[in-house]
Amino acid sequence: MTLAVRYVSARTLDTAPALDVPPGPGEVELAPAFVGICGTDLHIFHGDMDARVAAPAVLGHEMSGRIVRVGPGVEGWQAGDAVTVMPLRWDDTCPACRAGHQHICQHLDFIGIDSPGAMQQRWTVPAATLIRLPDSVPLDRAALVEPTAVAVHDVGRAGVREGERVVVVGGGPVGILIALVAQARGAEVRVVELSAHRRLLAGELGLTTWDPDVDDIPALVGEWTGEAGADVAFEVSGAAGGVDTAVEVLGVRGRLCLVAIHPRPREINLHRFFWRELTLIGARLYDRGDFEQAVALVADGSIAVERLISKVVPLTQAPAAFEALEAGGDVMKILVDCTTDTQGAVV
């Protein structure tokens, strides 16, 4: 018997027996090793996505694992291969797909939200979603390839260039990854974050941080840029105050890249957009090129994703892990280990 973590209703998760779905044509069966819990998963946990998520729903889309079986017609893959999954299934017929933007298909199936996810001990997915992992990358680190791909996409959408000055508002896992990717591209970066724990971790990773409770962020940006303002700001906090800060720090023709999911409409200073000819950029998900860049950054150590892992818990403790993340504190990224049962025995 295999187990899965399921969303049942707002603030209620369980672990339950999962169906063993053999791979059909063009599919593979995976044994997930590690699955990360992300902000979207927390939105689901809070009940904010009930209109989209059909309970009981198996969660999880940040993952690493190995192939167990391949279905008919699958070529280039075999049992034992280490993989992660780009959890997108598109229709290839809508206007977005026809324009080459399959990752934001107008009928997108985001696997782990719209269909069963990775937080289970066996998982069947289309072979087309697989991303190969080098054998040199430990599978716990590889579970952070997906959020790293988000960061690669966001930095690309914002058009960050060498020498530009970038402010990242929100120092959670994705914010830190955006800052590291931007820095790797030659930008000067500052991270604005309330949590002392997250600021400390960011500093240990070589990033400069500011505390919005103590620091006058616009004044510091003015000193840093010679009153020119930042070239790019990333809003990753999901808070109204974060939006205000991200707009305020931008210089003339600056770019605001919106990354966080805001569950409700926010007021925004449109006069500032008019006065400084600012640009607002939406950034959602990723494409295969973003994933491949993320694998390379993790594999060569350019992005030390292992520093973001706060805790690893067995699958049966995943519900408690969601509550721990919700409570905040000294927690960054929690991984769910799908390879062991309650007693720690390998399945």
Q: Which residues are catalytic?
A: 40, 43
Tokens in use for 229?
A: 């303002």
DSSP state string for 267-329: ---HHHHHHHT-EEEE-----HHHHHHHHHHHHTTSS-GGGGEEEEEEGGGHHHHHHHHHH-S
Q: Kind and range of the H or E element at 148?
A: helix 145-158
Q: How many CB atoms lie within 10 A of CB 268?
A: 16
Residues paired with 314 in a beta bridge: 337
CA distances from 26 to 20, 58, 111, 137, 254 (A): 17, 22, 16, 26, 45
What are the tokens at 198? 């997250």
